[in-house]
A and B are shown apart, each in its own frame.
Chain A
Amino acid sequence: MKEILLNKSGKKIILLGNEAVCRGAIEAGVDFVSTYPGTPASEIGNTFWQIKEDFKKINPKFHFEFSTNEKVAMEAAAGAAISGFKSLVAMKNFGLNVASDFLCTLMYSGIEGSMVIFVADDPSCWSSAQSEQNTRFYSLMAHIPTLEPSEPQEFKDFTKFAFNLSAQFKIPVMIRSTTRASHQSGPVTLGEIPNSKFQIPKFVKDPKKFSTMPPRVLEMKKELFEKIEKIKKQFEKSNLNKIIYGNSREKLGILTSGVSFLYVMEALKKLNLKLPVLKLGFIYPLPERKILNFLKKLKSVLIVEELEPYLEREIAILAKKENLKIKIFGKGEKIEGGRIWKERKAILPQIGELKPEYVEIAISKILNKKPSFNYQLHLKKFEKLKIPARPPILCPGCPYWAVVNAIKKVVDLQKVIFGGEIGCYMLFSHKVINLQDYLYCMGSSTSIAHGISKTSKQKVITFIGDSSFFHAGIPALINTVFNQSNPLIIILENQTTAMTGHQPHPGVGDGRVVKVEEIVRACGIKNVKVIDQVKNPEEFEKGLKEFLEKDEASVIIARHICALLEKKKKT
């Protein structure tokens, strides 16, 4: 891992896309990094966590933290940036939902130093429950300049570029990634790590700058729009938007970005075709002139992107505006007269990640050409196989097994409803455990339980991990007291953020430890027990029975360290 701090310009090292973002930030001279762990973005935090002391020797101003949640992380990074520092904040797609309240406001004021926001989506939900959220639509809503790198080298280069752009226009810049881009490893050629300036910037008071009170807020919006217009002009000329096979006379072109670009080039190689390709490095604001000039030479264009059509819609609107007669292939949406509806044939899926062969098949269909391999026949053969699914399950020795066993022993599983939450315990959905009747987002298990118990009067047991509790569980807990409902909340305290790679949280941090039971009591909960469910299973069972009878909300803190972490600490 220390290799990432090598100051050897020109040397090649192996990095994951996410690690390359860290290197890009290091080469840009980053001062402040904050995050809340979430896969597929976790490596940003993990990397800085491991190197922070060494990096401080290069940049003494440097600070890294795991913040309590993504909103807090973004606000902290903004605090650094409005004081003139260079900050990076990283999160997964759902984290941006949590932080969006702040993001949409921050864009109005802009920042003083520079600020880069890294967000990773997870097509196919490889490392996510919840949803297959497409974060790109936030770029439109918040008006945040957004870049999409394709491979590790670009992750580094784009990050460095993003810091410069942010400093130039005093605006936060987003880098948006997807699982296959972020968890792609490859050689990266290093650049130079700058000598840190010992000058320490300061927050400068200016009532016009960072206070979004009306009527000033509407002026700020105007200033934001002006910045975006200027950035757009710059993007038109930028070589981060590339045209490949620009001299091709083919009448079908391809427009793409991110990891999809790599699939496009793979498909063209396999088909031995040289179709013109426009690879967008920026997905907001779009370089409209560049796109139009590209489209003008074509009769049809295939838009290759993962998840819901973002580029496709924007391009369709642009083509309509310019009265361009061009056929658009992609997710099969047709836009006319401001309305969107499905055309009969979608050529690429909106659900699930793309694969190189999907793009090859799409191109073949449009050109009425045979693909390089009989994918259809092969797929039929493959789909006939009976392959038992092997979903993830709690690790052997996981302390949560003791919770599961106790519940199965003393709780009426038919009568009680079980509320799930984001963390290892969402594996309670596994068919051999089967203790999860609903699952949404972080912090939701208890608030939903409140709604159920206030209306249907059914008893609900909810689970929430310690890290999730600090992240978003506390307001929900207070609500059960304030508005009087009676769920039994089991806080699974394994003393880490286990699922994303054992990051610390406020209950176990290096600094002053925040005790879960103290918070629970301070929230007004009267029925509180702290039990080690592994060492004292009988006490845990007794606690369950007792608290299930209560007419008010009650909390059991099941405190036993994660088995993997315990093993790690011993070795």
Chain B
Amino acid sequence: MSSVTSDVRIQREDFDIQSEVARISDGRADIGAVVTFTGLCRDEAGRLSALELEHYPGMAEAEISRIAAEAVARWPLQGLTVIHRYGRIVPGENIVLVVAASAHRQAAFEAANFLMDYLKSRAPFWKKEHHADGTAGEWVEAREADDEALTRWRR
């Protein structure tokens, strides 16, 4: 069985997608597929100047590590990296990165998809909007569709 361990990082700083892919795949010849998902901050048609991401230190790492460990147990992965940023993030900047590597594409696609579905409604992060016109922003409301997305992974 696979002995891969996932690499989970919660950080304020930005990340570099190319170097995260290289960190997993450099010097290896057994990886046939690398799927990356990057989530970015949108401006919602000019309405937002930034998102403030609050997180629960300690639990954020623990919960994402649990989700990543489940992905490693369910799919034959050769590498898995999850990076989630916190703090003030402006439109166009990165928020989250998932890199999943496997011998074949299906496992890499599915694992990345699974990770994102779980991050959306199980990782302890909360987004607050900052409005471009300077008025006070609201906390982003959780979408029911995000909760429903989890049901397809249950077994």
- B is bound to A: no
